[in-house]
Amino acid sequence: MKLDILQGKTSKRIVVFIQSSISANGAGLTGLVTNSGGLTWYYWREETGNAAGTIVNIVSATRGTFTSSGFIEIDSSNLPGFYELGVPNAVLATGATWAVMMLQGAANMVPCPVEIQLTAYDPYNATTLGLTNLDAAITTRLAPTTAGRTLDVAATGEAGLDFDNIKDASGAHTLTNIRVPNVTLTDTVTTYTGNTVQTGDAYARIGLAGAGLTALGDTRIANLDATVSSRSTYAGGAVASVTGSVGSVTAAVTVGTNNDKTGYSLSAGQLFIKKNTALANFEFLMVSSTDHITPKTGLTITAQRSIDGGAFAACANAATELSAGIYVINLNASDLNGVVITFKFSGTGADTRYLTMVTQT
């Protein structure tokens, strides 16, 4: 097996797989302990040169706890052949870029080589890879060579531009075709030269008479009401009375001869539903929920009402069928004891009917 480990790393535990030499399918060898007959552990480092490998005095260990030269089987039942080693610090010491280890010699054991690349960085350090000068190196590369030429970076990470320093060796230049979606003023706005000042009627905004409305003054505003009145005044002769029918309610309208906005009247109480006053024979249509058009007959109606935004509650009286999908209900005073009343009528097989009315107080 091959591993990348930081030079000088200490208290390092690794896991190796020791294969059985007598297994037809290459299964792991189980049951090895520190004093298994013939079991040896050697290591050799790059700078060792012509010297022989160094033997490791194998000792017992506890799984999950570093013990130098420790050797212990992990799980003979579920992980047969896997053993945990406590690599001696001397194997990983600085001064070499690689080292090798070999475990062998036990009965029925296939030799287990381990190759270790001793890196100058820590492959298991997710922050800086163990490179202590990384931040300093990046800062050095990004630092400006001339004081004042800094990159404006916001606290949340966005990079900005210092427009005062956008120039070349010959000096500052006028920026053209620069589109700025959002502008925050940080200084006083001075007069923009080179353009005609926008004044007079052509640029006046509609509002109260005053500054900026030099030609649209009080006179025009004062004449607005008179102009509207003249367009709406009845110009004909005297009309004694006009009677018209709205549904089942008849309204009588009397027009005077003075041609002004007075003289028009409705008989009191003819067109309004009264608050907190019973209303008999209130009719409504129910249609089929299949085609949403055909009147639905034979329904048992659930009648509810919401008063002034309150929750829907049952109406005081039940609704009955009139004919042809028209149903009728006698609304109790308690059903109309509010300003805005919404009625909800529902029945199986029919679209729910919502009706909202505003009462007269």
Q: Averaged over 285-309, what is the pLDDT?
A: 96
What is the pLDDT at residue 256? Answer: 44
- Residue 361: pLDDT band with limits 50, 70, 90: confident
Could you check whether 2-119 and 279-358 share the same CATH topology? Answer: yes
Within 8 A by CB and 6+ apart from 170, the residues are: none
**Fold entry, domain 279-358:** Immunoglobulin-like (2.60.40)
Identify which of 222, 220, 228 has the alpha carbon closest to the alpha carbon of residue 201. Answer: 220
pLDDT band for 157, please (50, 70, 90 cuts). Answer: low
Question: Token pair 């008849």 is at which residue?
Answer: 250
Per residue in 115-148, pLDDT tens?
Answer: 999 999 888 888 778 777 666 556 555 555 555 5
Contact 274, 360 (CB under 8 A): yes
Burial of 255 (0-12, 13-18, 19+ CB in 10 A): middle
Residue 200 has pLDDT above 70, yes or no: no
Sequence letter at residue 103: L
Work out the average pLDDT over 21-40.
94
Residue carrying structure tokens 């009917």: 353
Q: Residue 86: which of 137, 16, 154 has the closest Cα?
A: 16
Residue 251 confidence class, pLDDT cut points 50, 70, 90 = very low
The single-letter DSSP state of residue 258 is S
Cα–Cα dist 108/316, whole Å: 94
Rounded to the nearest integer, the mean pLDDT of the chain is: 80
pLDDT of residue 252: 45
Of residues 67 and 146, the one with the higher pLDDT is 67
The pLDDT of 217-241, averaged and rounded, is 54
Confidence band of 253 (pLDDT split at 50, 70, 90): very low
- Residue 250 is predicted with a pLDDT of 43
Question: What integer pLDDT is reported at residue 196 of this predicted model?
Answer: 64
- Give the side-chain half-sphere CA count within 13 A for 328: 8
Domain ranges of the chain: 2-119, 198-223, 241-270, 279-358
Task: Note the pLDDT tens digit of each residue in 158-191.
Answer: 666 655 556 666 666 666 666 666 767 666 656 6
Q: In angstroms, rounded to a whole number, what is the distance separating the alpha carbons of residues 112 and 104?
A: 6
pLDDT bin (cut points 50, 70, 90) of residue 258 is very low
- Cα(106)–Cα(29) distance, rounded to whole angstroms? 10
Is 2-119 CATH 1.10.150?
A: no
**Strand segments (E) across 88-216:** 98-104, 112-119, 167-168, 171-172
Say if CB 41 and CB 102 are below 8 A apart: yes
Band (240; pLDDT cuts 50, 70, 90): very low
Sheet holding 279-285, edge to edge: 279-285, 326-331, 320-323
Judge whether residue 267 has pLDDT over 80. no
Nearest to 318 by CA among 302, 334, 299, 338: 302
- pLDDT at position 246, please? 41
The pair of structure tokens assigned to 16 is: 């190796």
Lowest-confidence region among 73-87, 215-229, 295-309? 215-229
Closest CA to 319 of 287, 293, 280: 280
